[in-house]
Chains A and B, each alone.
Chain A
Amino acid sequence: MNIITVGLNHRTAAIEIRERLSISEAQIGEALYRLKSDPLIEEGLILSTCNRVEVFAVVKETRGGLEAAKNFLLRYRPDLPEESITPCLYMYSAGESLRHLFRVASGLDSMIIGEPQILGQIKDAFDQAITHKTTGVILNKVFKKAISVAKRVRTETKISESAVSISFAAVELAKKIFGKLDQKSVLLIGAGEMAELAARHFVSNGVSSISIANRSYERALELAKEFKGVPIPFEEFIVEMAQSDIVLCSTGAPNYLIGPEEVSKVIAIRRNRPIFLIDISVPRNIDPQINKLDNVFLYDIDDLQLSVETNIRTREKEALKAEEIILEEIQRFSLWFKSLDAVPMIIALKDRAEEIRRSELEKVLGKLGALTPAQRGALEGLTASIVNKLLHSPLTVLKEEAQSTNGNMILEAAQKLFQLEELLVKLEKKKENPPPLNPT
């Protein structure tokens, strides 16, 4: 029994392949059913996002299971030639598979390190698999663990902290100047795509009002409608600046539209209330000299880009810490996973019974005093046969059923009923450091 992963992602497969292989929400039920119908696959889950398509499964036998999962992906879209997919696929099993899942959930495998959406997508995939009943004890536990590991990584490292897009960086800077943005107003000069995106971020961060100045008044009207803002004539943007705390500038003008003189006047009217100017136009529309004025904060696209890059480097550094956390969690989890193996469970159960039999026998022997070897032999035989008879059916069931669909439940039940946890850990340790051979 093993956990496996087969899939492809944005690093191994081009968008043309990813988009054709991707499995929509409507198709996922059927796909899960098809995956699970393979006799080698006991539990299955499909994670399909725009950056990855992956199958997670619990299989009876590793090699066959990997092959089955691979074939599922290769044949999922009959019109997509198998040769185009095969080179993109990666396959993991056991610890490697867990590590991959934990890394994906924590955002370490994402295009932008630490991006938070992937965790939601994993939760969705998990929900779908549960709805279609294709997971069991193991995958359920694995995915719950993956979600908690991702949360731990997020709280203990700075991997998801600080903005990694230009518009988010602008919002974060605004918050460092103004604190809460709910009393602040934004002025949009020019209506480029970038400015629109940044404006959208400011709106979702609660700015109180937004006005739009654009050379084409129709476009200004259009955007005003979208943001519930106020369109103003382009010529009046300097006047409007006096009322605006945040100015987003992105016109196509080839020269500076705003210079130190205009801004000094604006600041005087504002009575020194700070103003945050964001120039995302290339060539720039705001004279960089104005950053020298007091209470004026000017950021151009390079400044924002630089802060984004610094943040990405921070995230990369934090990713190393995250990898450590993941390794730690895998070690813990492996212990549980190994406990699901029937063989050590059977040994542990026998050991426990033998231990009890011996200690009880010693007690009775102490009370009875001297016995003949025959009497002693009879007692030994009696106790041994009671233990064997009692254990006979649990051991048979463990041996036979461990490989069945309910096997994990039975193993877990056995572990709980006979309190074998400690013993299993001891056995595990013995295996790692075998006792020294007796010098005989």
Chain B
Amino acid sequence: MLNVLFFKLTLSFYFLGTVFFLLNLWEEKGERESPGLFRRSQKIALLFTAAGFLFHTLALVFRMKEAGYFPLTSLHEAISFFSWGVVLAFFLVELKHRIYILGSFILPLVFLFLMSAAALPNEIRALDPTLKSAWLGVHTTLSLLGVVGFAIAFIAGIMYLLQESFLKSKQFSPLYYKLPSLDLLDDWNRKAILVGFPLLTLGIITGALWAHFVWGSYWTSNNPKQTLSLGTWFFYLIVLHGRITIGWRAKKAAHLAIIGFIGVIFIFVTLA
């Protein structure tokens, strides 16, 4: 069961990454007294996170080999893959912007998600033949990557509200100096939803196609999973539409991104 070993390694590396990213929040520039380890916490955190990401990728690959199908059928697997996507998105944003403070917000979240995944049953199940379809793999992958986009928007929203409260209250904590500008955070929020939304759309379409192949109908009206995911889709459609037409940006957009993601997590947990 190599995938379990790799998963445990991932957890330990992400734990270390989280610790160092949180240390980095407190670290101030020019702390001469602080030992070298503390001063370089940011680089160390990035290295641990990269190592964790590598093992996470291996864990997913080995799980797929051992299971013989795309491993996205249990909540454990879904959370694991989703967390992987969030870290991937983190590295992509990081490469472009080099605003390291992002890790201090994302890694603790990822670590919490993976801890909850670890607490869930993780055995590889013998699959119902109806579920053993390529469509299902595509459907879940796309939907989960869409949610990754919403997670990034959620983080950007939290960072926005923090920075906004510093600027409004005129209280400048060390965090104020580390957080990026409001404009940039609002832009991340917008872009993350702009990427997440089409992925979720494709996810829902492929899901409907799969349902059509298996059950002969695109939509079952009394299936709460389908209804709620359509609800999510509508929510983000309105968010995007509101931004373009009536200026739901800045603080409002931050609130919406936070509400939206909490809703998605709620659906995730209650329906799985």
Contact = CB atoms under 8 A, between A and B. Distances in A.
Interface in B189-237: none
A374 B178 CA distance: 82
A140 interface: no
B69 interface: no
Contacts of B177: 162
A307 B170 contact: yes
A173 B247 CA distance: 23
A318 interface: yes
Contact of B32 (A157, A175, A271, A307): A157
Given A176-B176, A297-B167, A156 B32 contact: yes
A35 B181 CA distance: 53
Contact of B30 (A178, A291, A307, A321): A321
A179 B160 CA distance: 13
Contact of B183 (A177, A272, A303): A177
A180 to B, nearest CB: 8
Contacts of B249: 271-273
A270 interface: yes
B181 A176 contact: yes
A310 B247 contact: no
B182 interface: yes
Interface residues of B, number: 24
Interface in A157-204: 157-158, 161-162, 173, 175-179
Nearest to A175: B181
Given A291-B168, A297-B168, A310-B172, A274 B247 contact: no
Contact of A303 (B170, B180, B181, B252): B170
A307 B246 contact: no
Given A271-B246, A273-B249, A299-B170, A176 B30 contact: no
B248 interface: yes
Interface residues of A, number: 29
Contacts of A273: 247, 249-250
A306 B29 contact: no
Contacts of A291: 168
A76 B68 CA distance: 92
A326 to B, nearest CB: 12
Contacts of B32: 156-157, 321, 324-325
A321 B28 CA distance: 13
Nearest to B166: A176
Contact of B250 (A157, A175, A295): A295
B30 A274 contact: no
B184 to A, nearest CB: 5
A294 interface: yes
Nearest to B244: A271
Given A156-B30, A297-B168, 6 more contacts: A161-B29, A162-B177, A179-B180, A179-B181, A271-B247, A291-B168
Interface of A: 156-158, 161-162, 173, 175-179, 270-274, 291, 294-295, 297, 299, 303, 306-307, 310, 318, 321, 324-325
12 contacts: A158-B30, A161-B29, A176-B167, A177-B167, A177-B181, A177-B183, A179-B180, A271-B249, A272-B251, A273-B249, A274-B183, A295-B250
